[in-house]
Copies of this chain bind each other. A is one copy, B any other.
C-alpha cells in the first residue's frame, strides 16, 4: 500500500499533509489528511485521533475549519481525517445526486445491497485499512481515539462501540445518534443494508450501547439551535440507552449553537483534551 503525497502545509510548527492511495476495502482511490504535530519530527511515537466528518464533507473541512491544529500541536496528537465515502468514476451515487446518500454520505458502514456493496465499505476502511496504513507510515503509538460530527459522530460512536479495546477515547459533535429512527438514517440504511430493519441494529449507536462490553466514556456536544436536532440527531435516544446500560455519557447541550463548523471550533479544544486524557500517559 503506497502513499502518494497530494499537498503539504506547515501548520503550528507541524504539518498538514494530504495523501492519495488505492483502497482495497473501497475498490477506489482515496484521499485522506493527516495533521502531524511538531513532536512527530522529534522521534516520539504519538497517539492518533481519527476524525470522521459529516454529510457532503471531504478530508478538508475539518482540517481547514475546526481550528484543531493549535492544541493538537501543544498536546502532541496526530489527527487523521478520511473522506466521507468512496469516490471516483464507477462509484455509484444517489440517482438524483442528493447530498444525504451516496457520494459524500457513506455512513461509515459496510453496504450489503447492490450496487452499493461494491465500494461502500467505509466501516472496514476506517476501522482496519486506514489505521494499518497510518501505523505503517507514521510515528504512531498504539493509542487510538475516534471522534466525528453529525454522520461522522454516528460513525465514531459505531466504530468504537463495535470494537471494544480498539479505541481508548471517544467523542462526538451533534451525532446522528439513533439513525434507525430518523430520515437520513432510514434512507441510508434501507439502501445500503436493505429493508430488513433487524439488520440495521448493528449500525445504530443507541442500540449498540446497550450491549457494549467496554464502558468507554463518551463526550458529546450538541447545539440547541441546531436545525437537525429534533428530526435527525436525537441525542436523547442515545442518552436514554446509555443510562439504561450504565454507560458513561456526558451530553452537553450548548445554548445558541447550530450545526456548523463554528460550533465545532468553539468546543474542539474540550474534545482534544478529553481524548488526550485517555490517549496520553
* Chain A interfacial positions (CB closer than 8 Å to B): 9-13, 16, 64-65, 67, 69-70, 223, 225, 256-258, 260-263, 265-266, 269
Contact across chains for B225 and A266 when beta carbons are under 8 A apart: no
Q: Which residues of B contact A67 (CB under 8 A)?
A: 67, 70, 265
Given A16-B262, A64-B64, A262-B16: A257 in contact with B69 (beta carbons within 8 A): no
Q: Which residues of B contact A258 (CB under 8 A)?
A: 9-10
A257 contacts which of B10, B225, B260 (Cβ < 8 Å)? Answer: B10
Q: Which residues of B contact A16 (CB under 8 A)?
A: 262
Contact across chains for B10 and A69 when beta carbons are under 8 A apart: no
Contact across chains for B69 and A13 when beta carbons are under 8 A apart: no
A266 contacts which of B11, B257, B266 (Cβ < 8 Å)? Answer: B11
Rounded to whole angstroms, the CA-CA distance of A67 and B265 in the bound complex is 8
Given A9-B258, A64-B64: A69 in contact with B225 (beta carbons within 8 A): no
What are 9 A-to-B residue pairs whose CB atoms are below 8 Å?
A10-B225, A10-B256, A11-B262, A13-B266, A16-B262, A65-B65, A67-B70, A69-B265, A69-B266
Contact across chains for B10 and A265 when beta carbons are under 8 A apart: no
One complex includes copies of this chain to the number of 2
Contact across chains for A262 and B9 when beta carbons are under 8 A apart: yes
Q: Which residues of B contact A65 (CB under 8 A)?
A: 64-65
Rounded to whole angstroms, the CA-CA distance of A266 and B64 in the bound complex is 12
A9 contacts which of B12, B64, B260 (Cβ < 8 Å)? Answer: B260
Contact across chains for A69 and B262 when beta carbons are under 8 A apart: yes
Q: Which residues of B contact A70 (CB under 8 A)?
A: 67, 265, 269
Contact across chains for A261 and B12 when beta carbons are under 8 A apart: no
Q: Which residues of B contact A10 (CB under 8 A)?
A: 223, 225, 256-258, 262-263, 266
A12 contacts which of B69, B223, B265 (Cβ < 8 Å)? Answer: B265
Q: Which residues of B contact A11 (CB under 8 A)?
A: 262-263, 265-266
Rounded to whole angstroms, the CA-CA distance of A13 and B260 in the bound complex is 14
Q: Which residues of B contact A12 (CB under 8 A)?
A: 265-266
Q: Which residues of B contact A69 (CB under 8 A)?
A: 262, 265-266
Rounded to whole angstroms, the CA-CA distance of A110 and B211 in the bound complex is 67
CB distance from A212 to the nearest CB of B (A): 33
CB distance from A72 to the nearest CB of B (A): 12
Rounded to whole angstroms, the CA-CA distance of A16 and B16 in the bound complex is 26
CB distance from A6 to the nearest CB of B (A): 14
CB distance from A59 to the nearest CB of B (A): 14
Rounded to whole angstroms, the CA-CA distance of A266 and B225 in the bound complex is 30
Q: Which residues of B contact A13 (CB under 8 A)?
A: 266
